[in-house]
Chains A and B, each alone.
Chain A
Amino acid sequence: MASMRDIKRRKSSIQSTQQITKAMKLVSTVKLQRAKQNAEKSNDYFRCMYSTVQSILARTKNLDHRFLKAGEGGKKAVIVITSNRGLAGGYNSNVIKLITHGELKDQDLCIYAIGKKGKDALQKSYEIRADYSDVIEEPVYADAMAISKEVLEGFAKGEISEIYLAYTGFKNTVVHVPTLLKLLPVEVNGSVPEGGEGSGEETPMDKALMNFEPEDEEALNLLIPKYITSLIYGGMVESVASENGARMQAMDSATSNAEDMINGLTLLYNRARQGSITQELTEIIAGANAIS
Chain B
Amino acid sequence: MADQNLFTLKIVTPDRVFYQGEVSMVEFNTTEGEIGVLKGHVPTTVIISPGILTITEAEETKEAALHAGFAEILQNEVVILAEIIEWPEEIDEERAKHARERAEERLRTKTPETDILRAETALQRAMARIHVIK
Contacts and interface: CB of A to CB of B under 8 A. Distances in A.
Interface of A: 38, 41-42, 44-45, 48-49, 52, 56, 140-141, 144-145, 202, 206, 209-214, 218-219, 222-223, 226, 229-230, 233
B42 A52 contact: no
Contacts of B30: 213
A209 B43 contact: yes
Interface string B1-28: 0000000000011111100000000000
Given A210-B43, A213-B32, 15 more contacts: A48-B12, A52-B70, A141-B84, A206-B43, A209-B42, A210-B44, A211-B43, A212-B45, A213-B45, A213-B47, A218-B31, A219-B47, A223-B70, A226-B68, A226-B81
Which 7 residue pairs across A and B have the least CB separation, nearest first?
A211-B44, A141-B14, A222-B47, A210-B43, A45-B12, A213-B46, A44-B12
Contact of A222 (B12, B42, B44, B70): B70
Interface stretch (B53-61, B72-80, B89-97, B103-111): B72-80
B46 to A, nearest CB: 5
The interface residues of chain A, by DSSP majority, are classed as helix
A229 B13 CA distance: 13
B69 interface: yes
B44 A48 contact: no
B43 A44 contact: no
A223 B72 CA distance: 12
Contact of B15 (A41, A56, A209, A223): A41
Given A141-B83, A213-B32, A214-B32, A206 B75 contact: yes
Nearest to B74: A206
B44 A212 contact: yes
A222 B72 contact: no
A42 B14 contact: yes
Contacts of A52: 45, 70, 72, 81
B45 A56 contact: yes
B15 A38 contact: yes
A204 to B, nearest CB: 12
Contacts of A145: 83
Interface in B35-66: 42-47
Contacts of A210: 43-45
A143 B12 CA distance: 18
Contacts of A223: 47, 70
Contacts of B84: 141
A231 to B, nearest CB: 11
Contacts of B69: 226
22 contacts: A42-B14, A42-B15, A45-B81, A52-B81, A56-B45, A141-B13, A206-B43, A209-B43, A210-B43, A210-B45, A211-B42, A211-B44, A212-B44, A213-B31, A213-B46, A214-B31, A214-B32, A219-B47, A223-B70, A226-B69, A229-B83, A233-B14
Nearest to A234: B14
A218 B15 CA distance: 27
